[in-house]
Structure 1
Amino acid sequence: MAPRQPLTRERILDAALALASTEGLDGLSMRKLAKTLGVEAMALYNHVANKTDILDGIVDRVFTGIVRADPGLPWPERVRATALGMYRALRRHPVVPMALVTDQANPTSLRALHPLDDLFGAFYEAGLDDDGVRQAFGAVQSLIYGSILLSTTGFIGDTGQAAPREQLDPYVHRLDPDKLPHFSRILPTLAAEDTESDFIRRLDVVIAGLPALK
């Protein structure tokens, strides 16, 4: 029989991320996590303080994995690279943005906060003042989190899938084109969404508009 792997914080965080990805944040508990790892719940407390510590650890790891933009790039390209890196990382683990937007976790380590600092630096280089940076950050954050929400099942479940055609079928069959001509016209296009390429296109629109915040 192969020896049991020692329990470590890294193993706990890996298992917690996998469990939360399938069960959601409410389905992540110390008891369930311990069962997944084949240990008693009390054994977890030698490595993590509580569920909040676990969620902070998960978020921290995901943010730490975001590749930083080349600081030598012009500011629009740094915003684009950083935002796209955040989008890709969070979209792979949509339970993480759910933990963030519900204030159940926050990235705290220096490495995890680097991408955010990079964004702020690019905004300042664009000539924005403090309030302009705040507005720019809000616009980019809204695009990232909104895009993930719209392309996943409420921040959990399968990632990267546009709304299935069957969700639009009731509208297709029930709408009266004479009464809602524009809605009827756009429906086929809504079903043809390409999530990442659409995100990039929308991000470029946001970036182009940032100088207006000066």
Structure 2
Amino acid sequence: MAPRQPLTRDRVLDAALALAGTDGLAGLSMRKLAKTLGVEAMALYNHVANKTDILNGIADRVFSEIDRADPGLRWDQRARAIAVGMYRALRRHPVVPMAIATSQANLTTLRALQPLDDLTGAFYEAGLDDDGVRQAILAVYSLVFGSLWLTTAGFARDADQAITPEHVDPYLHRLDPDKLPHSSRLLPALAAGGAESDFMRGLDVLIAGLAVLATPRRPSA
């Protein structure tokens, strides 16, 4: 028989992320997590303080998956790369944006906070003032979290499941095209897009708008 793997914080967080991915945030408990790891629940407290500590840990872990953008890129290219990296990392683990959006988790480590700092730096390089950078950051985060919310049914559905004609069909039969002509026209098109391609298009529009407002800093003499 192979020796049992020693329990570590990394093992606990790995198991917690997998368990939350299948059972959701509500299904993640110390008891279930201990059972998954084959230990007593009390053994977990040698590595994590409580469920909040676990959620903070898995959020930090997922944000740490985001690759840093090449500092040699233009500000708009860096901003796009960071936003895309954030979207893809969170789409792989939709319980994490749910935990953050519901204030059950916060980012606590330098590595996890680095994408925000890099994004902030890109917007300052674009020439935006403090208020402009604040608004730009909020716009990017709104796009990332909003896109995930709409395409994963509140971060709970399989992230790879797209809107299909079956999702739209019930609404087609309910809407009166004479009373809601524009919505009736749009509904069939909702099943034609792709989650990531729609996000990319929205991000392109957002960054193009920010570029209009930006005044790139001139290098000092």
TM range (shorter): over 0.9
Matches within 5 A, 1:137-152: 137-152=137-152
Q: Report Cα offsets for 1:76-99 as digits up to 9, x if no partner.
A: 101100000000000000000011
Task: Please list every run of 5 or more consecutive structure 1 residues that lacks an aligned counterpart in the other structure.
Answer: none
Aligned to 2:68: 68
Aligned to 1:24: 24
CA distance in 1, matches of 2:111, 2:174: 51
Contact 2:143 2:203 in 1 (8 A): yes
What code does the residue aligned with 2:202 have?
Answer: R
CA distance in 1, matches of 2:104, 2:8: 23
Aligned to 2:91: 91
Once the two structures are TM-superposed, the CA of residue 169 in structure 1 deviates from its matched residue by: 1.0
Contact 1:127 1:211 in 2 (8 A): no
Flag the 1:37–1:157 CA change in 2: closer, same or farther, 3 A.
Answer: farther
Once the two structures are TM-superposed, the CA of residue 119 in structure 1 deviates from its matched residue by: 0.3
CA distance in 1, matches of 2:157, 2:28: 14
Contact 2:119 2:137 in 1 (8 A): yes
What code does the residue aligned with 2:114 have?
Answer: H
Once the two structures are TM-superposed, the CA of residue 53 in structure 1 deviates from its matched residue by: 0.9
**Two-structure CA RMSD over aligned residues (Å):** 1.3
Once the two structures are TM-superposed, the CA of residue 183 in structure 1 deviates from its matched residue by: 1.2
CA distance in 2, matches of 1:163, 1:197: 13
Q: Report Cα offsets for 1:96-138 as digits up to 9, x if no partner.
A: 0011111111111111111110100011011111111110011
| Segment drifting more, 62-71 vs 203-212 | 203-212
Q: How many residues align?
A: 214
| Segment drifting more, 169-178 vs 93-102 | 169-178
Contact 2:56 2:106 in 1 (8 A): yes
CA distance in 2, matches of 1:24, 1:172: 31
* TM-score, normalised relative to structure 1: 0.96
Following TM superposition, the consecutive aligned residue runs of length 4 or more in structure 1 with deviations greater than 6 angstroms are none
Aligned to 2:166: 166
Aligned to 1:122: 122
CA distance in 2, matches of 1:171, 1:102: 29
Once the two structures are TM-superposed, the CA of residue 160 in structure 1 deviates from its matched residue by: 2.7
CA distance in 2, matches of 1:174, 1:81: 41
CA distance in 1, matches of 2:171, 2:33: 42
Task: Please list every run of 5 or more consecutive structure 2 residues that lacks an aligned counterpart in the other structure.
Answer: 215-221
Once the two structures are TM-superposed, the CA of residue 212 in structure 1 deviates from its matched residue by: 5.2
Contact 2:29 2:51 in 1 (8 A): yes
Aligned to 1:5: 5
What code does the residue aligned with 2:133 have?
Answer: V
